[in-house]
C-alpha cells in the first residue's frame, strides 16, 4: 500500500485547519478593533428603543390647486419625504399619514432634528428664471421730504413718470438709481424674448406728446396689467420696497415669490440677501431635473457645488434658453435658480450650455450642498406642508418590549444549551464556541453598520437576531448528525469528520439559501420596521455559512485528533457504544483459515 504524499490537502481544506481558524480569528479581532477605533461600541438604536423626534406636518393646497389634498398626493408626499429623510442616512425613519391632511414623521435619536425638519418641510419647487434686472439687497431710501404738499405731489408724480419711462423705453445710457446693475443701453424686459427685446409694447404711446396721451385715455383707456404679468413699473416699486438684508424681509419675499405662477414675473431675494432681482417667467422647470449630486470642485476652486442632470426635454430647453441669454449684457445674461421662491444661485451665461447638465454654486458647505442635492433628487412635493408640532418621543414602551424580548431570547438560548449538553455532551462545546463566534461577528458588524449606512437596531431586528440562534444551531446539528451516522457505520472519528462534511455542507447551504431568499424578498417588498427584521435575518444567515465553513469545520478537524474525541470517551458525544455501533462480523471471518461453506456464507 502506497503511503500518502506529504503536504497533500484533503477535501475541505482539512490539511491546514489551524490556518483557517486563524483567519476567522484575525477577522474577529479586526472588526472588534475597528469598532473601538470608530468610537462606536454599541449599535445605533431605532426610535422604538432609543426615542427620537416626531414631526406632524399639515398639508396645504398650493396656489391654483384648490383640490390638491387627496389620498394620491398624500401617499406621493409620504414616499418623497421618506426618501429624503433616508437620504440623510436615517434608515429607520417612520413616515405615515394621519387623517386626511396630516403626515407623521418619526426620526430616531442621534439624527440632526433641525436638518431633518428642513428636509421634510421643503416643498422643493425648482425653476430656472432669467434675470431682468438686479440691484443691491437693501431697501431703496425714501425721498427727502419737500417744503409743502405741492412740492411733495410734484416729486411723487416725477418719480412715477420716471418709473413708467424706465419700463417702456430704452435707458438713455446712464445707470438707473434704483437698479444699478441694469445693463447700459438695453430695456428691462423679458430676457427670453430676445427678438422682441427692443420692441416693448407701449413705447409709441410714451414717445407721443402729453395731449396725445390724454386723447388716447379719453378714447380708449388702456387696462393696467397685473403685477407679475408685465407691469414693470409695479414690479420696480416692489423691488424698491423689498428688503433682502433681513431674515424677515427675505422670508416675506420668498413666500410671495413661491406663490406666483410659473408664467408670472416676480421679485425675489438672493440667498445671501445682498442682491434683489426682477425675474422673468420659468424657462426650465424643476420637474425636468433627472438627478442631482453634491460634489467638491477642485478645478475652478468653487468649493462644494450641486451638479444637475436634465432629462431630454429639460436639456433642450436649457440649451435654447442659455443660448439666448448668452447674447445679452449683464445682468440679463444671468439665469436665476429659484427654489421655493428663493434665488439659490444666479450664474451668468456666456455660451449655450448643452449636454443636459448644469451646476449650482455659491458658498455651499458639504452639508448644505448635500441637502439641496437630496431634495432635488427626489422631486418636489405635490403639496405644501407646515410643521405644526415637534415633540420628543421617549423609549419607555420600546425599552420594556426590548427587556421582554431579551428575556425570551435568553430563555430560548438556555434551552438550546441544555439540549446540546444533554444530547451531544462534548460536542456541545463546539456548538457553543461557534455560537459565540457568530455572536461576536454579528454584534461588531451591526455596530459598524450604524455610522456606515445608518443601520438602526429596532425591536423587529432584535427578533431577527433571536431567530438566527435557531438557524445557527440547526447547522451544527446537521453536521454533528452526519458525523455520528458515519461512526454508526463503523468508521473512526477522523474519516467520519471527512466523509460527513460534504453531505452536511450541501444540506446547510440549501437550508441557509432558503432562509436568505426569504429575508431578501421580505426586505424588498416591505418598508419600515419589517425591513429591520429582514436585514438582520439575512445578515445572520450569511454569517452562519461563514462560521460553519471557517470555524466549526476546522475546529472539528482539530478535535478529531484528540484522544478525548477520537477515542470515543463517554462524555465526548461520540461514544460508539452509546451510538449503537456493533463490532463488524467480517472481522471474525478473516481469522478463519479453513474452507467456507457457500451455504453458510
Most confident of 10-24, 125-139, 457-471, 544-558: 544-558
Cα four-point dihedral sign 235, 240, 241, 242:
positive
Please give the grid coordinates belonging to residue 366.
458639504
The confidence score (pLDDT) of residue 113 equals 64
Q: Taking each helix axis from N to C terminus, what angle separates 17-37 and 427-453, rounded to the nearest 10 degrees?
A: 40
The residue-averaged pLDDT of 212-230 equals 40
What is the value of pTM for the model shown?
0.55
The confidence score (pLDDT) of residue 515 equals 92
Checking if the pLDDT of 216 tops 50, the result is: no
Residues 78 and 97: beta-carbon distance below 8 Å: yes
The confidence score (pLDDT) of residue 88 equals 63
Please give the grid coordinates belonging to residue 57.
406636518
Rounded CA gap, 89 and 134, in Å? 39
pLDDT 10s digits, 381-422: 777 788 888 877 776 556 677 788 788 888 888 888 898 888
The residue-averaged pLDDT of 414-432 equals 89
Checking if the pLDDT of 368 tops 50, the result is: yes
The confidence score (pLDDT) of residue 392 equals 76
Checking if the pLDDT of 38 tops 70, the result is: yes
Looking at 2.30.250.10, 3.40.50.10190, 3.40.50.11820, 3.30.70.3400, the CATH number of the domain 52-124 comes to 3.30.70.3400
Checking if the pLDDT of 138 tops 60, the result is: yes
Checking if the pLDDT of 277 tops 50, the result is: yes
The confidence score (pLDDT) of residue 198 equals 38
Choose between 483 and 240: higher pLDDT. 483
Please give the grid coordinates belonging to residue 246.
433681513
State the chain's mean pLDDT as an integer. Answer: 75
Cα→Cα distances 440→24, 29, 367, 458, 543, Å:
11, 10, 34, 19, 10
Cα→Cα distances 424→209, 225, 263, 484, 488, Å:
112, 92, 80, 10, 15
pLDDT band at 142, cuts 50/70/90? low
Decide: helix, strand or coil at residue 250: helix
368 C-beta neighbours (distance < 10 Å), count: 18
The confidence score (pLDDT) of residue 177 equals 30
Following DSSP, what letter does each residue of 347-368 receive, concatenated? -B-SS---TTEEEEEEEE-HHH
pLDDT 10s digits, 242-273: 888 888 888 888 888 877 888 888 889 988 88
Choose between 45 and 195: higher pLDDT. 45
Residues 434 and 472: beta-carbon distance below 8 Å: yes
- CA-based angle 195:201:205, to the nearest 5? 140
Decide: helix, strand or coil at residue 68: coil
CATH class of 14-44+396-566: mainly alpha
The residue among 243, 229, 132, 242 whose CA lies nearest residue 181 is 132
Checking if the pLDDT of 328 tops 60, the result is: yes
* Residue 357: strand pairing partners: 309
**Domains 14-44+396-566 and 52-124 in one fold:** no
Choose between 575 and 179: higher pLDDT. 575
The residue-averaged pLDDT of 478-493 equals 89
- Beta strand 126-136 with 335-339 is antiparallel
The confidence score (pLDDT) of residue 168 equals 40
The confidence score (pLDDT) of residue 56 equals 86
Checking if the pLDDT of 440 tops 90, the result is: yes
pLDDT band at 518, cuts 50/70/90? very high
Please give the grid coordinates belonging to residue 581.
455501533
Q: Lowest-confidence range among 142-146, 344-348, 534-538?
A: 142-146
Decide: helix, strand or coil at residue 53: strand
The ranges assigned to domains in the chain are 14-44+396-566, 52-124, 126-136+234-366
Choose between 156 and 456: higher pLDDT. 456
The confidence score (pLDDT) of residue 425 equals 87
pLDDT 10s digits, 179-215: 333 333 333 333 333 333 333 333 333 333 334 444 4
Most confident of 136-145, 172-181, 244-253, 587-596: 244-253
Please confirm whether the linkage preceding 85 is cis (ω < 30° from 0).
no
Give the architecture (CATH level 2) of 126-136+234-366.
2-Layer Sandwich (3.30)
The confidence score (pLDDT) of residue 186 equals 35
The residue-averaged pLDDT of 546-565 equals 91
- Beta strand 284-285 with 303-310 is unpaired
Tell me what percent of the chain is helix, strand and coil, each rounded to the nearest 5.
50, 15, 35
Rounded CA gap, 41 and 25, in Å? 19
Amino acid at each position: 500500500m502506497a503511503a500518502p504524499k506529504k503536504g497533500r490537502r484533503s477535501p475541505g481544506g482539512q490539511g491546514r485547519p489551524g490556518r483557517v481558524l486563524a483567519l476567522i480569528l484575525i477577522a474577529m479581532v479586526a472588526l472588534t478593533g475597528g469598532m473601538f477605533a470608530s468610537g462606536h461600541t454599541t449599535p445605533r438604536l431605532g426610535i422604538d428603543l432609543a426615542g427620537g423626534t416626531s414631526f406632524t406636518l399639515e398639508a396645504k393646497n398650493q396656489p391654483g390647486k384648490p383640490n390638491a389634498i387627496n389620498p394620491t398626493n398624500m401617499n406621493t408626499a409620504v414616499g418623497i419625504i421618506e426618501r429624503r429623510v433616508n437620504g440623510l442616512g436615517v434608515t429607520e425613519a417612520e413616515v405615515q399619514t394621519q387623517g386626511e391632511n396630516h403626515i407623521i414623521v418619526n426620526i430616531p435619536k442621534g439624527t440632526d432634528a433641525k436638518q431633518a425638519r428642513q428636509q421634510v418641510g421643503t416643498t422643493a419647487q425648482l425653476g430656472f428664471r432669467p434675470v431682468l434686472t438686479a440691484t443691491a439687497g437693501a431697501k431703496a431710501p425714501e425721498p427727502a421730504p419737500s417744503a409743502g404738499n405741492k412740492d411733495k405731489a410734484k416729486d411723487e408724480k416725477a418719480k412715477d413718470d420716471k418709473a413708467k419711462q424706465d419700463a417702456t423705453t430704452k435707458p438713455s445710457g446712464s445707470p438707473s438709481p434704483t437698479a444699478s446693475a441694469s445693463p447700459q443701453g438695453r430695456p428691462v424686459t423679458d430676457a427670453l424674448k430676445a427678438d422682441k427685446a427692443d420692441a416693448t409694447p407701449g413705447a409709441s404711446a410714451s414717445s407721443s406728446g402729453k395731449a396725445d396721451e390724454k386723447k388716447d385715455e379719453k378714447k380708449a383707456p388702456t387696462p393696467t396689467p397685473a403685477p407679475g404679468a408685465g407691469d414693470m413699473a409695479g414690479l420696480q416699486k416692489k423691488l424698491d420696497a423689498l428688503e433682502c438684508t433681513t431674515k424677515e424681509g427675505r422670508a416675506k419675499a420668498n413666500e410671495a415669490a413661491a406663490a406666483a405662477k410659473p408664467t408670472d414675473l416676480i421679485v425675489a431675494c438672493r440667498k445671501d440677501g445682498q442682491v434683489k432681482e426682477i425675474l422673468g417667467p420659468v424657462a426650465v422647470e424643476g420637474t425636468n431635473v433627472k438627478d442631482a449630486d453634491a460634489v467638491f470642485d477642485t478645478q475652478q476652486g468653487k468649493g462644494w457645488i450641486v451638479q444637475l442632470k436634465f432629462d431630454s426635454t429639460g436639456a433642450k430647453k436649457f440649451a435654447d434658453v442659455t443660448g439666448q441669454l448668452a447674447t445679452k449684457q449683464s445682468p440679463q445674461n444671468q439665469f436665476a435658480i429659484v427654489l421655493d421662491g428663493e434665488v439659490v444661485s444666479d450664474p451668468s451665461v456666456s455660451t449655450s450650455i448643452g449636454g443636459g447638465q448644469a451646476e449650482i454654486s455659491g458658498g455651499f458647505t458639504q452639508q448644505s450642498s448635500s441637502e439641496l442635492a437630496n431634495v432635488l433628487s427626489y422631486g418636489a412635493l405635490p403639496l405644501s406642508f407646515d410643521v405644526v408640532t415637534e415633540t420628543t418621543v421617549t423609549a419607555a414602551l420600546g425599552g420594556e418590549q426590548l427587556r421582554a424580548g431579551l428575556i425570551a431570547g435568553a430563555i430560548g438560548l438556555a434551552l438550546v444549551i441544555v439540549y446540546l449538553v444533554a444530547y451531544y455532551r462534548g460536542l456541545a462545546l463546539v456548538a457553543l464556541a461557534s455560537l459565540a463566534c457568530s455572536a461576536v461577528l454579528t454584534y461588531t458588524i451591526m455596530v459598524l453598520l450604524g455610522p456606515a449606512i445608518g443601520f438602526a437596531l429596532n425591536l423587529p431586528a432584535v427578533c431577527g437576531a433571536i431567530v438566527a440562534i435557531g438557524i445557527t444551531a440547526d447547522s451544527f446539528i446537521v453536521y454533528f448528525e452526519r458525523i455520528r451516522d458515519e461512526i454508526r457505520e463503523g468508521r473512526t472519528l477522523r474519516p467520519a469528520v471527512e466523509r460527513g462534511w460534504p453531505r452536511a455542507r450541501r444540506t446547510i447551504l440549501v437550508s441557509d439559501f432558503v432562509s436568505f431568499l426569504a429575508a431578501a424578498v421580505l426586505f424588498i417588498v416591505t418598508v419600515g420596521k419589517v425591513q429591520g427584521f429582514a436585514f438582520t435575518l439575512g445578515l445572520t444567515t450569511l454569517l452562519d455559512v461563514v462560521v460553519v465553513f471557517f470555524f466549526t469545520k476546522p475546529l472539528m478537524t482539530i478535535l478529531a485528533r484528540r484522544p478525548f474525541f477520537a477515542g470515543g470517551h463517554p462524555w465526548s458525544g461520540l461514544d460508539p457504544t452509546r451510538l449503537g455501533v456493533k463490532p463488524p462480523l467480517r472481522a471474525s471471518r478473516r481469522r478463519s483459515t479453513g474452507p467456507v461453506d457457500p451455504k453458510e456464507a
